[in-house]
Amino acid sequence: MALQVFTAVTGAAWESALVGALDRADHGVTVVRRCVDVSELLAAAATGTGSAALLSADLRRLDGDAVARLAAAGVAVVGLVEPGDERAAARLQAWGVLHVLPADAAAEEIARALREAVAGGPPRGRDIADPRAALPGGSRPEPPGERAGGEGTVVAVWGPTGAPGRTTVAVGLADEAARLGVETLLVDADVYGGVVAQVLGLLDESPGLAAAARRAATGALDEAALRALAWEVRPALSVLTGLARADRWPELRPSAVAQVLDEARRLAALTVVDCGFSLEEDEELSFDSAAPRRNGATLAVLEAADVVLCVGGADPVALQRCIRALGDLRDVLPDVEPLLVVNQVRRGPVPGDPRREIAEALDRFAGRAVDCFLPADRGATDAALATGRTLAEVAPGSALREGLRGLAARVTGVPAPTSRRIRARSRRSAG
C-alpha cells in the first residue's frame, strides 16, 4: 500500500508541481491532504489517516512543539529547506526532524526520505495516551553526553498541591547555592502562576521565561538572549521570572521550555526550577492530541532535570498528597528518582517525634526514605515575605536557613561553611 502523506509546503510556485510529482504511483506515496498551515497539519495528523508529513522549514508557526505533536500522533516528518539554508536545516534538526532535504530535491528522493522516516519508527513516537507524548524529543531522555546545551546542572523543585513550600525551597536553594559561590539561575516555571518575582521583591516587568520560550520556539534563543531576559539579583544569582497570570500557561510550551533549560545549562552552573504541582493525568488522556497540555511544561522540566526534589508538607493531609504525588511521578517518569524533602516539620499535627513518624509513614506507604527535613519557622518565612528578601538575609541563624544551606551543599557538592551557632553548640557539647 502506498505511504499516506500530508504536505504543508510553502512556496506556491512549485508546491503543486512537487505534490503532483510525488503523488505518481511509482514513488509509492499518496498525498492524502495538502495542508495550508501548521494547525491544519496538526488536525490532519490527529485523524490518523497519514503516517508521514512533508513540510517546509519556513512554514509559519512551525516550532519544536508542533514537531513534537506530530511525533506524538505517530506522524514521521521530512523537512524541506531552501537549497543551502543551513540555519533552517539546523533548526529543523534541533526540533527532532532527522530527514531534511533541499526543496529542489527530486520527487523520488523525497519519497525515499518519507519512507525512511516512517521506517525509522513514527519519529521516536509515543503512544498517544502516554502523557510523555507531550514532551519534546520523543521516547527517550537524552543521555547527558548528547545534550544540546551546556554543562550546568538542572534541579527541578516539584511537589504535590497544597502549598507544601516548593517556592520557598526553590528560592532558598538557589540563594544558598549562589552564596556558596555557584553561579545560579532560578527559573519560575509554575504553570499555575509564578510568584518568585514577588517573593524576591523584584518589580517585575520583565518578560522572563515566557519570552525565553517564545524565542526558543523560533530558534532565536542563545546564551546572550537568555542572559538579557534574566533578572540579575546579585552577580551569582539571576532569575527568569514566571507567568504573571496563570491563564497564560499556553505560553510555556513544553519543547520550548526544554530548550530554555538546555541554554540555561550554558549560562549557569546550577539552574533551579520552581515547578507547578500535579501531573493531572486525566488531562493527558485527552483525545485531541493537538491540544496543548497545561502540565506539559512541568513534565518537560521533570524529564530534563538532573535532580528532582519532591517537596511535601509535614501534616497528615500533606503526607497523603505527597505519597500520591510520588506514585504519579513513578507512573509517568519511572526513571526519575526524586530526592524527598519534607518541609514545615513541627510538633503538633503528627503525634510523638515528628521526624520519626513521618519517615516511617513515607517508608511504609511510598517505600521512600526522606532525604531532607526542613523545620517550620513561620517567623522566618514571614520576615522574608514581608521584606522581599531571603532567609539568609532576614534569619541567617535559623534552622530553616541551615537546612536549606545543607540542601544546597548536597545538590552542588560544595560544602557549606559551619555556622557560628553550630560551632558554638558543638563547642559547648564538647566542653
Ligand X SMILES: Nc1ncnc2c1ncn2[C@@H]1O[C@H](COP(=O)(O)OP(=O)(O)O)[C@@H](O)[C@H]1O
Is residue 278 within the footprint of Mg ion (CB under 5 A)? Answer: no
Residue nearest to Mg ion (CB): 167
- Contact range with Mg ion by CB under 5 A, out of 38-46, 158-166, 285-293, 422-430: 158-166
Binding residues for ligand X restricted to 39-98, rule: CB under 6 A: none
Residue 130: half-sphere exposure toward Cβ, Cα within 13 Å: 19
- Contact range with ligand X by CB under 6 A, out of 75-83, 139-147, 160-168, 421-429: 160-168
- Contact range with ligand X by CB under 6 A, out of 59-67, 157-165, 289-297, 302-310: 157-165
- Contact range with ligand X by CB under 6 A, out of 45-53, 64-72, 165-173, 263-271: 165-173
Closest CA to 253 of 289, 216, 206: 216
The three-state (H, E, C) secondary structure of the chain, written as one string: CCEEEEEECCCHHHHHHHHHHHHCHHHCEEEEEECCCHHHHHHHHHCCCCCEEEEECCCCCCCHHHHHHHHHCCCEEEEEECCCCHHHHHHHHHCCCCEEEECCCCHHHHHHHHHHHHHCCCCCCCCCCCHHHHCCCCCCCCCHHHCCCCCCEEEEEECCCCCCCHHHHHHHHHHHHHHCCCCEEEEEECCCCCCHHHHCCCCCCCCHHHHHHHHHHCCCCCHHHHHHHCEEEECCEEEECCCCCHHHHHHCCHHHHHHHHHHHHHHCCEEEEEECCCCCHHHHCCCCCCCCCCCHHHHHHHHHCCEEEEEECCCHHHHHHHHHHHHHHHHHCCCCCCEEEEEEECCCCCCCCHHHHHHHHHHHHHCCCCCEEEECCHHHHHHHHHHCCCHHHHCCCCHHHHHHHHHHHHHHCCCCCCCHHHHHHHHHHHC
- Contact range with Mg ion by CB under 5 A, out of 131-139, 162-170, 246-254, 399-407: 162-170
The entry of Mg ion, ligand X, none that residue 50 binds, CB within 5 to 8 Å by partner kind: none
Among 61, 347, 378, 420, binds ligand X (CB under 6 A): 378
Residue 400 CB, shortest distance to ligand X, in Å, is 5
Q: Which three cell numbers stand for residue 379?
A: 517567623
Q: What character string, x for contact with ligand X (CB under 6 A) and - otherwise, covers 293-332? A: ----------------------------------------
**Interface size with Mg ion, residues (CB under 5 A):** 2
Is residue 241 within the footprint of ligand X (CB under 6 A)? Answer: no
Is residue 390 within the footprint of ligand X (CB under 6 A)? Answer: no
Is residue 187 within the footprint of ligand X (CB under 6 A)? Answer: no
Is residue 381 within the footprint of Mg ion (CB under 5 A)? Answer: no
Residue 266 CB, shortest distance to ligand X, in Å, is 27
Binding residues for ligand X restricted to 391-410, rule: CB under 6 A: 400
Among 56, 167, 184, 289, binds Mg ion (CB under 5 A): 167
Is residue 241 within the footprint of Mg ion (CB under 5 A)? Answer: no
Residue 199 CB, shortest distance to Mg ion, in Å, is 8
- Contact range with ligand X by CB under 6 A, out of 133-141, 222-230, 378-386, 390-398: 378-386
Is residue 298 within the footprint of Mg ion (CB under 5 A)? Answer: no
Residue 171 CB, shortest distance to ligand X, in Å, is 8
Q: Which residues bind ligand X (CB under 6 A)?
A: 159, 163-168, 343-344, 374, 376-378, 381, 385, 400
Binding site residues, Mg ion, CB under 5 A: 166-167
